[in-house]
Amino acid sequence: MAEKYFLKDSVLQCFSTYNDVFSHNELLFPRDCFMAAQIAHSVDNDSLAIEYLLKGISFGLNPDFFSIDTFETNASKLKDLKNCRFWTKVIYKKDSLMKIYRNKVDWKLKKELMSLIRTDQNWRRKNNKWFNRNFRPGLEKKFNIFNQKCMLYLDSVFNSVGYPGNWLIGTGDSLAYQTKYASFNNANLGDLVSVLLYHNDSAFINYGDFLLKEIDNGHIHPRVYALIRDFRDRHLDKKDKEEIMYYNIWWERGNLSVDEIENHCNEIGCPTKQHLRDLSNKLGKGYDVFWSPFR
């Protein structure tokens, strides 16, 4: 809703909405803080942009991103903040805020989940190769066994703590050690566990209702829920040529009207492709509207 106010030039209402949401830590996602900071910077409110960044750092934003001059990014304009007079707040507070972030993360659970994710991706790369699919059927059988074990583990996690999103396992940082900062370039501010779900045939069928409730709990971002939901149609209905993208996260199709897509997305707080397009045009070059649903 905050972004919609911005598109209507209701800047005060935009920031009022952000401030209201950001006052509830259980509903906070680092990606949204990053987006809010970009909007504030685009209207020359650097003081507020810094406040949004500080809030985001405590949830996994990497402040060192702003000092990497050689790194190319869609959010290059935001790097101008390091030259503003309010940047000293980031310098003084970043270490204590990142300590808050690190203390929130369940590192044991994160390590276990990342191990599953890496195994899943390794199996998937092997299984998706044409030669292996046609001449090594044993690989698919082993992959299916792993998938079953993976879903059983996730089921136990869901029943124990809920959906392990940013609030519990943080952002997509390295597991070589308990990293001081999150993702080096803030490229992965999204969700880690979704990669185990959106490829699984039965994930949305088994957990769709649970995931929808977890949006209200602040455990899963609406875009992540939409990503998992839409992949079900993309994957299961492909053989019937009836790919009905309920949220159009993956691509825009003609099966639903603009109003229908808008209503579906508004119900859960998920942006449409048209919304992202309008936001990108409004902000201009140098800002990142997170086109990829994986982020």
pLDDT in tens, 244-280: 677 777 777 667 788 888 888 999 989 888 899 999 9
List CB contacts of 223: < 8 A, sequence separation 6 or more: 190, 249, 270, 271, 293
Cα–Cα distances in Å, from 80 out to 42, 50, 71, 205, 291? 11, 11, 14, 45, 22
| Chain-centroid distance, C-alpha 193 | 10
Distance CA 252, CA 15 (A): 30
Q: What's the whole-model pTM score? A: 0.84
pLDDT in tens, 63-115: 776 665 544 456 678 778 888 888 899 889 989 998 999 998 999 999 899 88
Both structure tokens of 231? 């992949």
pLDDT in tens, 121-176: 776 766 565 545 555 666 667 777 888 888 999 999 999 999 999 899 988 754 33
pLDDT in tens, 239-253: 444 556 777 777 776
